[in-house]
Structure 1
Amino acid sequence: MRDSNADLFDPRTIMDSDCATGSLGPGPVSDSDFAFAFNDSNFSDRVLRIEIIPDLPETKSNGDGCTSIADWARNRKRRREDIKKDSDSMKRRRRRRRRCLLSHNSLAQLISVVNVQHFQGGGNDRVWNLRFFRAFNDWELAASFSFLHLIQSRIPRGVGSNSLCWGFNAVDILVHCEEQILTCSMPDTEDGEGYVNQDEEAVAMIEESPSGVGNHLNKHGDEAAPGNDGLWSMDCSAVLRVKTIHISSPILAAKSPFFYKLFSNGMRESEQRQVTLRIHASEEAALMDLLNFMYSNTLSATTSPALLDVLMAADKFEVASCMRYCSRLLRSMPMSCESALLYLDLPSSVLMADAVQPLTDAAKQFLAGRYKDITKFQDEVLNLPLAGVEAVLSSDDLQVPSEDAVYDFVLKWARTHYPKLEDRREVLGLRLGRLIRFPYMTCRKLRKVLTCNDFDPELTSKVVLEALFFKAEPPYRQRSLAADEASTRYHRFVERAYKYRPVKVVEFELPRQQCVVYLDLKREECSLLFPTGRVYSQAFHLGGQGFFLSAHCNMDQQSSFHCFGLFLGMQEKGSVTFAVDYEFAARSKPTEEYVSKYKGNYTFTGGKAVGYRNLFSIPWTAFMADDSLYFIDGVVHLRAELTIRQ
């Protein structure tokens, strides 16, 4: 039974209907349907006043006029560019104003009375009426003239309740206006994005009827109201229109922490009947759909652009149930590369929400599946943004020749998109470098990593040392490390679906150039070889030449049955000849020691291979049997020793 002391309107309280299991598809998140009460004064205790202001110049609603995800993405990109342009311009204006405020601050604190007066002759001309505590000093005359010139351009319009017009640090000046004006606060900070970004946090004002018309000024030395320090509020945008909606505070509070805090903050304002929200015109349709959802658990939006608008509004007003609903609907729609990249490029506040995580996971899985064979789509993947490349490289099923190829691709992408070394090092160190699985790179490539200038030297030393320690671990320990990372974001020790199997190589220079190569194959990999398949190892080097191993399922020499064969080949490089002694061995039960299976010597030329068609001298069925002597814990362990002939 639920605790009787629990706050039923607290959205953190777990509702039985929200936790019901067995619901399929993007259905309602709750059994409660209050659609009949939406905007009905008979079932409402408050009035929501929605003030709609213009969008930024040359921008329009994300969903309005957008018929596809591509339109939505282009419009959002244009909005971001306009926002950045306006932000830079506003930063310059604020820096100029800040220099002026340094001298104006002391003058503002001398004001004892302030109001706005009309000229006695009538008309609409008005002036400030200021009184000061004392006369100006000689050194303050120039600043006083500048100060008076500044405030004359800030005369408010109309009458109504007292409202903050500007503030200079420790003093707030309140003015009596002839009509209610709608103001917006402009923080005096270096970063102007807080008030030019249309995706900012929601702002609400709870209003009450004017309680007085007297002018007021904080006394000299009194502490300013919290949050008004250094603020300059003014009528920065005209209201296009106002919508009035009858709302039920319990319903909204149960769905949204934003409204819950607004209605239950314990202050006098939380008891007022009228609540005012200010939004941009581009958010109007989405907000109305969101409010309707909070009553009915349904949306009228059916297209991807419209659902994205509602998703953004739901994030802004903290309606997690609507975010989950939009996420399910978007996942049920056909996904494209463009839409997947757009979902990964949503604002960070949206991406971090648990309700949207399934959508971003689906987008990552789509991109990982689309570019699974990265070698076929290398040009396309090179043009992907950072979030898209991360989704592709995070996949365990990425089909690449080896991890060396992943490393080369990451460097090529980073050099293309981040030409500056400092930026490139940052993105490699914090983002892409974590997606390279250095333990599965060849030792030859790891040596090059140590001398690569694109990475921070401290980072390269760390990852190479970690890779070498992993290579030195026994197989059971490597599997344990990989299993420990299965539930983490970065899979450093998890092996991908490489086209060429990783090998361990031990090299010797004396008394003769020699290398010992270890190749492990799982039972599942061997079963896929039947009847005529083959699997290749990654390349390894001896005497400056590249070699590889290949395991085959082939017919024996008399073509009487299938069997397991192992071959050694040299990578094709012109007409070079190379004489090598080689020996194949495999671990077998019961001793589980390596037992020699075949010895030989061969003079290689480019592209040639040599080996034994029936390495274990048994049919394929006996090799793959459950009681096979050569599978130890489901893995067959092969070894090849190569020595350069004198």
Structure 2
Amino acid sequence: MESNFMFAYNHPKFSDRVLRIEVVGEPPDGEVGIQRDTHHKRQSDTDDVTDQGDDSDLIVRVNSIYVNSAILAKRSPFFDKLFTNGMKESNQQDATVRINKSEEAAFMELLGFMYGGNLPTISPTLLDVLVIADKFAVDSCVRRCAELLGSLPMNMEYALLYLDLPSCVSITPEVQSLTDAAKVFICDQFGDITKLQDESTILPLAAIEVLLSSDRLQVASEDAAYDFVLKWAHARYPVPEERREILGPHLLHHVRFPYMSLEKLREVLDDLDHELVSELVNEALWFKADALHRQRALAAESTHKRFTERDYTHRPLKILEFDRPHPQCIVYLDLRREECATKLFPAGQIDSQSFHFGGHRFVLSASYYSNTNTGRHFRLLLRMQPDGSASFPVITCRSCPRMKPSRDFLERYEERSTLRGRNTEVSRSLLDLQWNSFIADKSKYFIDDTLQMRVALTIR
């Protein structure tokens, strides 16, 4: 337990120095409290806070208190240097520090902590003390402030302040824990962006960046994540030049373009100028088309989160399109054994991301169902929504799973269906498998715990 020396605080009998505190007025555009200015960063030497410089006319007041140099030097390498190397003469009794007006209250709390170990209990004040403690290298105070702040209830105001800490203080494990807790809070509160609707426009930029950079973002597809970003940017920054400045350096690099559909990637090139997105779209196309490029990108995913697949509420698809000898679309859908067991049984459904073919939108839908005569089943449906036009092509559907032991898509398991023109949604069963054999530990349908399915649509 740290010793309590509050009896010596500002007491001439127990002090050997006078600390001269110069309080400087804020610049015209200064902010109160935590700021993004670099002057809040920890001082590497004493010059920045002791040098009189040319701004002495900004000094609004000077406070002098008696201090014990041994007590302060023990708590802080900054004060240790101030009272040794920082003194012009060995017998000099006064030492000077210069602080901003907004830092004054926090600095006095810091001095009190260095003597007695006590801190305020109000969270905004604690946050200011943490920043000033980092500036003057009082690590024990930084740790204690972070511990106290971490024990308090989180809300949006404090979460945004904690997110700003890396721009204000040195990153320590304690400070990082506050920032991490803020990110968790924001994701818990707003992670399901499908429920935000118009409320999303009230979220500040820092919160949007946290959501987009998180693997926990709840979103149907990366297409939907991109639409969310664009909607938010248009609502918050109606001026095109300002919106471009926000999208470029802040938001677009959080969008995971490699997992967007080809259709949406084409839209991106129409929505935004090529200078902003051409490199990202090109990178996404290489990721989709080239296995070696994809392997290298995934190897670098620790530094580039845009290559990491989110846990989308609608499963991603891999799609190949051909126009000869007939218009054809081959779609690959993978489902993990765990999600089949937990999300399908006893009454669940897993939908794929939608895709377009022949002028219509399609969705693959996996589900569990029970029949009194035939028992329990796994079923894969193809759902189609016509576009309402009079012209409707006849589409032939073929589907099959990849199976053991050959690990091939075995054509003898293909099921053929034909979709004809209607004005309402069309559903067609493509696969129907007995549930017990499908989900069994030694199931022939799961390869490395993944069910891989192929569906081919052909217009003849």
Distance 1:253 1:199 in 2: 20
2:124 matches 1:313: no
**Aligned partner of residue 496 in structure 1, secondary structure:** coil
Distance 1:563 1:478 in 2: 35
2:283 matches 1:466: yes
Distance 1:266 1:289 in 2: 23
Distance 1:252 1:399 in 2: 50
- CA 1:458–1:55: 2 relative to 1, 3 Å: closer
**Aligned partner of residue 350 in structure 1, secondary structure:** coil
1:215-364 equivalences in 2 (<5 Å): 231=54, 234-239=56-61, 242-249=63-70, 251-265=71-85, 268-269=88-89, 272-280=92-100, 282-299=102-119, 301-346=120-165, 348-350=167-169, 355-364=174-183
2:242 matches 1:418: no
Partner of residue 541, structure 1: 356
Contact persistence 2:395–2:420 (CA under 8 A): yes
Shift of 1:527: 0.9
Contact persistence 1:49–1:277 (CA under 8 A): yes
1:552-631 equivalences in 2 (<5 Å): 552-556=367-371, 558-571=372-385, 573-574=387-388, 577-596=392-411, 597=413, 598-605=415-422, 606-612=424-430, 614=432, 616=433, 618=434, 620-631=435-446
Partner of residue 449, structure 1: 268
Task: Report the number of matched residues.
Answer: 451
- The letter of the residue matching 1:547 is F
- The letter of the residue matching 1:268 is K
Q: 517-526 or 256-265: which moved more?
A: 256-265
Shift of 1:580: 1.3
Structure number with larger C-alpha Rg: 1
Identity of aligned residues (%): 47
Shift of 1:584: 0.8
Distance 2:439 2:287 in 1: 29
- CA 1:296–1:484: 2 relative to 1, 3 Å: farther
Distance 1:534 1:559 in 2: 22
2:278 matches 1:437: no
- The letter of the residue matching 1:504 is K
**Aligned partner of residue 458 in structure 2, secondary structure:** strand
**Aligned partner of residue 447 in structure 2, secondary structure:** coil
Choose from 305, 308, 311 the match for 1:491. Answer: 305
Q: Note the alpha carbon deviations across 1:476-523, whole angstroms, 9 max, x for none.
A: 9968854752x44x4112111212111011111122211000000111
Choose from 12, 28, 33 the match for 2:3. Answer: 33
Choose from 173, 185, 189 the match for 1:370. Answer: 189
Q: Note the alpha carbon deviations across 1:262-312, whole angstroms, 9 max, x for none.
A: 23436634762221234455434322221222234331x111122122123
Q: Note the alpha carbon deviations across 1:358-390, whole angstroms, 9 max, x for none.
A: 212211111111111102113222222211110
Contact persistence 2:15–2:66 (CA under 8 A): no
- CA 1:595–1:264: 2 relative to 1, 3 Å: farther
- CA 1:402–1:271: 2 relative to 1, 3 Å: farther
Q: Note the alpha carbon deviations across 1:523-552, whole angstroms, 9 max, x for none.
A: 111112111211011111111211111111
Contact persistence 2:398–2:430 (CA under 8 A): no
- CA 1:572–1:497: 2 relative to 1, 3 Å: farther
Distance 2:187 2:229 in 1: 15
Partner of residue 156, structure 1: none
Partner of residue 219, structure 2: 400
Superposition TM-score, scaled by structure 1 size: 0.63
Shift of 1:237: 3.9
**Aligned partner of residue 411 in structure 1, secondary structure:** helix
Distance 2:8 2:296 in 1: 57
- CA 1:579–1:254: 2 relative to 1, 3 Å: farther
Contact persistence 1:531–1:562 (CA under 8 A): no
- CA 1:511–1:366: 2 relative to 1, 3 Å: same
**Aligned partner of residue 307 in structure 2, secondary structure:** coil
Shift of 1:253: 3.0
Contact persistence 2:316–2:352 (CA under 8 A): yes
Contact persistence 1:262–1:270 (CA under 8 A): no
1:477-516 equivalences in 2 (<5 Å): 482=298, 484-485=300-301, 487-488=302-303, 490-516=304-330
- The letter of the residue matching 2:311 is A
Q: Note the alpha carbon deviations across 1:149-177, whole angstroms, 9 max, x for none.
A: xxxxxxxxxxxxxxxxxxxxxxxxxxxxx
Contact persistence 2:74–2:80 (CA under 8 A): yes
Partner of residue 455, structure 2: 640
Q: Note the alpha carbon deviations across 1:582-619, whole angstroms, 9 max, x for none.
A: 011111111111113311212253322111462x3x3x
Distance 1:610 1:591 in 2: 28
**Aligned partner of residue 225 in structure 2, secondary structure:** helix
- CA 1:331–1:578: 2 relative to 1, 3 Å: farther
Shift of 1:635: 0.6
Structure 1: gaps spanning 5 or more residues: 1-30, 63-75, 81-192, 207-226
Distance 1:198 1:637 in 2: 54
Contact persistence 1:307–1:330 (CA under 8 A): yes
Shift of 1:472: 3.2
Distance 2:296 2:23 in 1: 58
- CA 1:43–1:483: 2 relative to 1, 3 Å: farther
Contact persistence 2:40–2:169 (CA under 8 A): no
Distance 2:5 2:124 in 1: 24
Superposition TM-score, scaled by structure 2 size: 0.86
Contact persistence 1:43–1:248 (CA under 8 A): no
**Aligned partner of residue 547 in structure 1, secondary structure:** strand
**Aligned partner of residue 629 in structure 1, secondary structure:** coil
What is the CA RMSD across the aligned residues, in angstroms?
Answer: 3.4
Distance 2:96 2:115 in 1: 19
